[in-house]
Amino acid sequence: MPKVRYKTMKLKEGTLRTIAQAIKILEAYDAKGYKLTLRQLYYQFVGHDLFPDDRRWRWTGSRWVKDPDGTKNADPNYKWLGTAIDSGRLCGLIDWSYIEDRTRNLEARTHFEQPDEVIEAAFHSYRIDRWARQDVRPEVWIEKEALSGIFERVCRKWDVPLFACRGYTSQSEMWSASQRLHLYRNKGQQPIILHFGDHDPSGIDMTRDIQDRMGVFKLPMEVQRLALNMDQIEQYRPPPNPAKSTDARFRSYRAAFGNESWELDALEPEVMVALVEKAISEFRDDDIWHEDVDREIEERALLDTTHRHWDDVSYYLEQHLQNFTKRYQRELRESRGYKHEVGDDDA
* Contact between residue 249 and residue 202 where contact means Cβ atoms under 8 Å apart: yes
* Contact between residue 126 and residue 300 where contact means Cβ atoms under 8 Å apart: yes
At residue 326, the pLDDT reads 73
Tens-digit pLDDT profile for residues 128-168: 999 999 999 999 999 998 899 899 999 999 999 999 999 99
At residue 340, the pLDDT reads 52
At residue 243, the pLDDT reads 93
At residue 346, the pLDDT reads 45
At residue 105, the pLDDT reads 66
| Average pLDDT value for the chain | 90
Measured between its terminal Cα atoms, the distance across the chain in Å is 51
Residue 238 pLDDT greater than 90, yes or no: yes
CA–CA separation, 145 vs 209, rounded Å? 18
Average pLDDT over residues 61-86: 94
- Across the chain, the runs of DSSP E, i.e. the strands, are 57-59, 64-66, 136-142, 162-164, 190-196, 222-227, 241-242, 260-261
| Single-letter code of the amino acid located at 29 | Y
CA–CA separation, 44 vs 16, rounded Å? 17
pLDDT confidence band for 342 (50 / 70 / 90) = very low
* Contact between residue 88 and residue 22 where contact means Cβ atoms under 8 Å apart: yes
Tens-digit pLDDT profile for residues 260-305: 999 999 999 999 999 999 999 999 999 999 999 999 999 999 999 9
Exposure pattern of 62-79 as b/e (b: 16+ CB <10 Å)?
Answer: eebeeeeeebbbbeebbe
* CA dihedral for 296, 298, 300, 303, sign (positive or negative): negative
User: Which residues, listed in sequence order, are joined to residue 99 by a DSSP beta bridge?
Assistant: 36
Q: What is the largest CA-CA distance in the chain?
A: 85
User: Which residues, listed in sequence order, are joined to residue 199 by a DSSP beta bridge?
Assistant: 262
Long-range contacts of 68-73 (CB under 8 A, 24+ apart): 71/239, 71/240, 72/46, 72/239, 73/46, 73/239, 73/240, 73/241
How much of the chain, in percent, has pLDDT values that exceed 70? 94
Q: Cβ contacts of residue 158 below 8 Å, gap of 6+? A: 276, 277, 280, 284
pLDDT confidence band for 104 (50 / 70 / 90) = low
Q: Hey, what CATH class is 135-284 in? A: alpha beta
What's the Cα-to-Cα distance from 54 to each of 18, 77, 84, 328, rounded to whole Å?
14, 11, 16, 72
- In this structure, what DSSP letter does residue 147 have? G
The C-alpha torsion from 19 through 23 and 25 to 31, rounded to 10°, is 170
Alpha carbon 166 to its chain's center:
11
- Which three-class secondary structure state does DSSP give residue 138? strand
